[in-house]
């Protein structure tokens, strides 16, 4: 099978936005779509499970220059469709942007503004389940077994019990949560409905879909047809699945272009944070127990992820993250250690695949699990920003944009020992060598296998300004990362 992924993703640096918490524009006319008398929690107040702080699309549009300055050229939005939840993973209407965000008209304006700046926009598709407020499910509540939508869901007995506190729902729901009824995707009408959602928003101009829990629609044919229809509208549409583990089944070229690469994230934790990692924050969620890794173990894991598991086209389209809306903030897991964060960003920006920055990680935002990992971006408190971290991230993104090898090149481990991991990205005559030493002791290694010609050190991390060549002995200061490159003119 011919495996192809959207070419633009290889050059993308994504920024993930949780819409209620990134930016609010109180002057936005489109906010009137929500009606009069709307009252939000104070921006920046302690996040709660059900509270809204009023982030909207107009607010994101106001901050597009901030994103461009950082080096961002793609946005992944958490859900934006009409919903009674601040996370919007339970949609009332898959064809309407939430009025609190600005409605469909507000989204059209935002999308045009983003595209004018060269920023692609990927939406979150939640097709496994919906909300109790979706028209078809509400019809069941009102009409019972005689509803024409009775076969749209998995109802085990009638009448539907959706709102009785303390009682389990008598229909299939995601993780048994009554507010998340699961679609019956064996029903041809449901399949057509969900496929039509996918194509509708692509026709409206979005650049792809991030798919929520797609493995829970355990049906290859469903996703194969979803891909066929989406690619028929836009062959360059990016389709990336939330898959926390090895995902060969879905990444053969006939379903998804990539996965959210939590395997890479776990490897970063195991090597760069190591025994300082608070496993109580990971064991109860998708990360699970994280294996501690030395330099050799980290090298083996990177080689497995980037050279052994998938077709090279899939590898270059993987969405590489340090965290997301579902996880504790990286800075919290790293005990707010700036050096560890800088090393993590250095690695993220130099391995194969598209980096994805969870909003605020570039300024060192902290937060444990939901809802604390979903705090409002502190536009109101710039003194709280880790500006040095943001500057480092900005420099690393600029390096990635300058280097075709970092965006599209092959990946090779050059050396690994107990503390150090050294790898190379190469494309044609262009080479980039990255060395990591997260330990508290200096290390040395002899550069080997990096090809002919000198490599100049790039101005990132603990750069010492050396030019090196194959066969040369290199010193790594404690807790440092170094990058050398031979960049094409």
Catalytic residues: 212, 242
- Closest to 161 in 3D by CA, of 146, 183, 176: 176
Q: d(Cα 451, Cα 175) in Å, to the nearest integer?
A: 52
Q: Give yes or no for a contact between 433 and 474, defined as CB atoms under 8 angstroms apart.
A: no
- Closest to 96 in 3D by CA, of 81, 111, 106: 81
Helix segments in 102-187, DSSP class H: 103-116, 135-143
Q: Give yes or no for a contact between 102 and 112, defined as CB atoms under 8 angstroms apart.
A: no
Q: Give yes or no for a contact between 414 and 448, defined as CB atoms under 8 angstroms apart.
A: yes
Q: d(Cα 344, Cα 323) in Å, to the nearest integer?
A: 11
DSSP summary character for residue 484: E
For residue 119 the two structure tokens come to: 């920023």
DSSP summary character for residue 325: T
Left (φ > 0), alpha (ψ -120 to 50) or beta: where does 90 sit?
beta
State the virtual CA torsion across 163, 167, 173, 178 in degrees, nearest 10. 30
Q: Identify the three-state secondary structure at position 314.
A: helix
Q: d(Cα 150, Cα 148) in Å, to the nearest integer?
A: 6
């Amino acid at each position: 099978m011919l495996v192809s992924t959207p070419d633009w993703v290889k050059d993308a640096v994504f920024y993930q936005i949780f819409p209620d918490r990134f930016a609010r524009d109180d002057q936005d006319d489109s906010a009137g779509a929500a009606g009069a008398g709307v009252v939000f929690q104070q921006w920046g107040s302690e996040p709660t499970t059900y509270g809204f702080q009023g982030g909207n699309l107009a607010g994101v549009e106001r901050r597009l220059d901030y994103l461009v300055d950082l080096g961002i050229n793609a946005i992944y939005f958490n859900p934006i469709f009409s919903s009674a939840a601040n996370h919007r993973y339970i949609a009332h209407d898959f064809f309407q942007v939430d009025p609190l965000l600005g409605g469909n008209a507000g989204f059209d304006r935002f999308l045009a503004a983003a595209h004018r700046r060269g920023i692609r926009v990927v939406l979150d598709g939640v097709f496994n389940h919906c909300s109790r407020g979706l028209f078809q499910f509400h019809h069941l509540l009102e009409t019972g077994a005689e509803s024409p939508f009775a076969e749209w869901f998995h109802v085990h007995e009638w009448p539907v019990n959706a709102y009785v506190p303390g009682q389990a729902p008598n229909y299939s729901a995601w993780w048994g949560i009554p507010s998340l009824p699961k679609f019956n995707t064996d029903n041809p009408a449901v399949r057509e409905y969900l496929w039509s959602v996918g194509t509708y928003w692509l026709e409206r101009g979005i650049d792809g879909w991030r798919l929520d829990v797609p493995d829970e629609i355990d049906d290859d044919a469903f996703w194969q047809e979803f891909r066929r229809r989406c690619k028929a509208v836009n062959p360059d549409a990016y389709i990336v699945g939330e898959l926390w583990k090895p995902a060969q089944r879905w990444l053969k070229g006939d379903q998804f272009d990539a996965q959210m690469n939590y395997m890479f994230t776990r490897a970063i934790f195991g090597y760069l944070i190591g025994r300082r990692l608070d496993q109580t924050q990971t064991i109860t969620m998708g990360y699970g127990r994280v294996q501690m890794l030395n330099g050799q173990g980290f090298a083996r894991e990177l080689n497995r992820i980037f050279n052994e598991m998938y077709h090279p086209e899939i590898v270059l389209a993987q969405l590489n993250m340090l965290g997301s809306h579902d996880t504790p903030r990286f800075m919290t897991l790293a005990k707010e250690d700036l050096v560890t964060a800088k090393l993590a960003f250095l690695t993220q920006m130099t391995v194969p695949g598209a980096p994805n920055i969870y909003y605020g990680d570039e300024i060192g935002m902290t937060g444990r699990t939901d809802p604390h990992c979903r705090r409002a971006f502190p536009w109101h408190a710039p003194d709280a920003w880790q500006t040095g971290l943001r500057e480092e991230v900005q420099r690393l993104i600029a390096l990635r944009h300058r280097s075709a090898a970092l965006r599209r090149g092959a990946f090779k481990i050059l050396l690994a020992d107990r503390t150090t991991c050294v790898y190379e990205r190469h494309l044609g005559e262009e080479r980039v060598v990255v060395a990591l030493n997260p330990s508290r002791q200096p290390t040395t290694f002899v550069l080997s296998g990096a090809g002919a010609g000198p490599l100049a050190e790039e101005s990132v991390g603990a750069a010492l300004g050396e030019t090196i060549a194959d066969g040369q002995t290199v010193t790594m200061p404690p807790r440092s990362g170094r990058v050398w490159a031979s960049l094409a003119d």
